[in-house]
């Protein structure tokens, strides 16, 4: 669809680069742009003169869709639409984002989150849209639809049903996370803005073993996160086992952040963000090839989002350093040291410094508990020893000369140590019962 991109700012320069990328990600062909620096006009969002200029560009370039990089109210949408040729749609920033999300939602969870966001966006506009539609002679003008007094009740009912289903999914995912922790896995989440290279980094760190985070994954979806140069390639979560050293790590890639997201949209994707909030460690991936100003803005926004509920350690990863010379990288590290005091600099594309990142992951994860165990030998004991090797790091395994006991010194997460203690107690009780 041929599109015109427009943006208004109160002051300064209106940068349309991100909204153009978003429009193209949605499949639109951007053929013209328009910007304005002035306070918002209550009637047209832009000044009326600029709205007339916009209409002229639409006619000149045979535009089918006008994409406004701002939140445009229903009345403003209605007024802008009346200046445009019939059939030309007006889409604001958040409607466009929802369009992209809808295109990329491949799992049941992602589809529900997109629908929830759409309904939350629609709810306060439903009554206004209906009244506006009655004022215009064209049926369904601007996609407003015909008046339906039950529309608001229907939206609220659907929101309630979706939230209930998402809560059920979240409960199952929490159970899955706990089972993984009990099995000795540390949970590490990749966070950051879209196109920072998170999916490429996931592929670089991933071991051979696939882990199915989404039991309802679409059969056509590759188990490994895609790494195309595109926005929102990863909408749901993709989890892979990562090779970092002695510890078993599950690494989860989530949907990328994007600037200026309203609260209602972030809330709709809360269950996806829980993969970040409940991780043992968060890797905040930043595109180091971007200008310092953009990196700083994204770091600030990411911190605001993550520190709201996240309690895990956070490691900043400056990615795409293959695109920088050493002096540029040094300048960016110094300029951003307050927000990223000790970043890991890597290239997910070339693999540069990925081993350093693996070491940092191991160092930053919560400390394992050291345990020393003395057990009488039995079939149950040898099964437990094998399980400890699989779920912890065995430092010493020593058998007495008579072959009656084994001493094991190992490190493991606390849930694993607690399971070992419980199983060891069962073994000793079983042996005592057999000897009486």
Q: Is 32 annotated as a binding residue?
A: no
Q: Is 234 annotated as a binding residue?
A: yes
CA distance 396 to 108: 46
Q: Is 199 annotated as a binding residue?
A: yes
CA 400 from centre of chain: 52
Largest CA distance in the chain: 97
Q: Is 253 annotated as a binding residue?
A: yes
Q: Is 320 annotated as a binding residue?
A: yes
Measuring CA to CA, which residue among 265, 139, 240 is closest to residue 188?
Answer: 240
Strands 248-253 and 238-243: antiparallel
Q: Is 87 annotated as a binding residue?
A: no
The DSSP annotation for 247-308 comes to SEEEEEE-PPB-TT--HHHHHHTHHHHHHHHT-SEEEEEEETTS-HHHHHHHHHHHHHHHTT
Instruction: Supply 86's token pair.
Output: 């019939």
Strand order across the beta sheet in which 405-412 lies: 369-376, 405-412, 393-399
**Any idea which residue has 């040094």 for tokens?**
330
Q: Is 379 annotated as a binding residue?
A: no
Q: Is 30 annotated as a binding residue?
A: no
Q: Is 254 annotated as a binding residue?
A: yes
Q: Is 198 annotated as a binding residue?
A: yes
Instruction: Supply 94's token pair.
Output: 């958040």
Three-state DSSP class for residue 238: strand
Q: Is 77 annotated as a binding residue?
A: no
List 6's β-bridge partners, or say none: 34, 68
Helices (H), 136-197: 151-182
Q: What is the DSSP letter of 136?
A: S
Q: Is 186 annotated as a binding residue?
A: no
**Any idea which residue has 């966001």 for tokens?**
117
Query: By the 8 A CB rule, do 415 and 182 touch?
Result: yes
Residues 6+ apart with CB under 8 A from 382: none
Measuring CA to CA, which residue among 68, 8, 75 is closest to residue 38?
Answer: 8
Q: Is 424 annotated as a binding residue?
A: no
Measuring CA to CA, which residue among 280, 266, 267, 236 is closest to residue 254?
Answer: 236
Strand order across the beta sheet in which 2-9 lies: 29-37, 2-9, 65-68, 89-92
Query: By the 8 A CB rule, do 105 and 113 touch?
Result: yes
Q: Is 255 annotated as a binding residue?
A: yes
CA distance 279 to 43: 46
Q: Is 349 annotated as a binding residue?
A: yes
Strand (E) or helix (H) holding 27: none
Q: Is 131 annotated as a binding residue?
A: no
Q: Is 192 annotated as a binding residue?
A: yes
List 249's β-bridge partners, or say none: 186, 242
Annotated binding site: 192-199, 234, 253-256, 319-322, 347-349
Annotated binding site for Mg(2+): 199, 234
Annotated binding site for GTP: 192-199, 253-256, 319-322, 347-349
């Amino acid at each position: 669809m041929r599109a015109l991109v427009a943006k208004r700012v109160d002051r300064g320069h209106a940068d349309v680069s991100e909204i153009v990328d978003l429009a193209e990600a949605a499949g639109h062909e951007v053929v013209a742009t328009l910007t304005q620096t002035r306070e918002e006009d209550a009637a047209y969002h832009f000044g009326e003169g600029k709205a007339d200029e916009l209409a002229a560009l639409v006619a000149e370039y045979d535009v089918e869709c006008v994409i406004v990089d701002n939140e445009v109210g229903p009345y403003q949408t209605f007024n802008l639409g009346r200046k445009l040729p019939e059939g030309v749609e007006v889409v604001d920033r958040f409607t466009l984002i929802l369009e992209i999300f809808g295109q990329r939602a491949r799992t049941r969870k992602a589809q529900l989150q997109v629908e929830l966001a759409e309904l939350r966006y629609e709810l306060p506009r439903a009554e206004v849209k209906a009244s506006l539609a009655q004022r215009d002679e064209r049926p369904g003008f601007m996609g407003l639809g015909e008046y339906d007094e039950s529309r608001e009740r229907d939206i609220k009912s659907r929101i309630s049903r979706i939230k209930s289903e998402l809560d059920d999914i979240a409960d199952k995912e929490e159970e899955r996370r706990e089972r993984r922790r009990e099995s000795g896995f540390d949970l590490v989440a990749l966070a950051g803005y879209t196109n920072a290279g998170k999916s490429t980094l996931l592929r670089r760190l991933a071991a051979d073993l696939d882990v199915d985070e989404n039991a309802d994954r679409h059969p056509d979806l590759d188990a490994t996160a895609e790494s195309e140069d595109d926005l929102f390639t990863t909408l749901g979560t993709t989890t892979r086992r990562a090779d970092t050293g002695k510890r078993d790590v599950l690494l989860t890639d989530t949907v990328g952040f994007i600037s200026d997201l309203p609260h209602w949209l972030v809330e709709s994707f809360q269950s996806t963000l829980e993969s970040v909030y409940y991780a043992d460690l968060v890797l905040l991936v930043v595109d180091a090839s971007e200008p310092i100003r953009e990196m700083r803005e994204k770091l600030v926004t990411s911190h605001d989002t993550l520190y709201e509920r996240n309690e895990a350690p956070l490691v900043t990863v400056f990615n795409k350093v293959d695109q920088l010379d050493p002096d540029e990288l040094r300048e960016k590290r110094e300029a951003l040291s307050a927000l990223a005091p000790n970043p890991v600099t890597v290239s997910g594309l070339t693999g540069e410094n990925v081993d350093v990142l693996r070491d940092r992951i191991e160092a930053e994860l919560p400390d394992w508990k050291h345990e020393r165990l003395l057990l009488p030998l039995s079939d149950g004991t040898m099964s437990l020893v094998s399980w400890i090797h699989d779920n912890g790091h065995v430092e010493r395994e020593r058998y007495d000369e008579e072959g009656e006991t084994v001493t094991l010194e190992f490190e493991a997460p606390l849930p694993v140590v607690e399971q070992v203690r419980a199983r060891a107690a069962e073994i000793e009780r079983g042996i005592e019962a057999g000897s009486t």
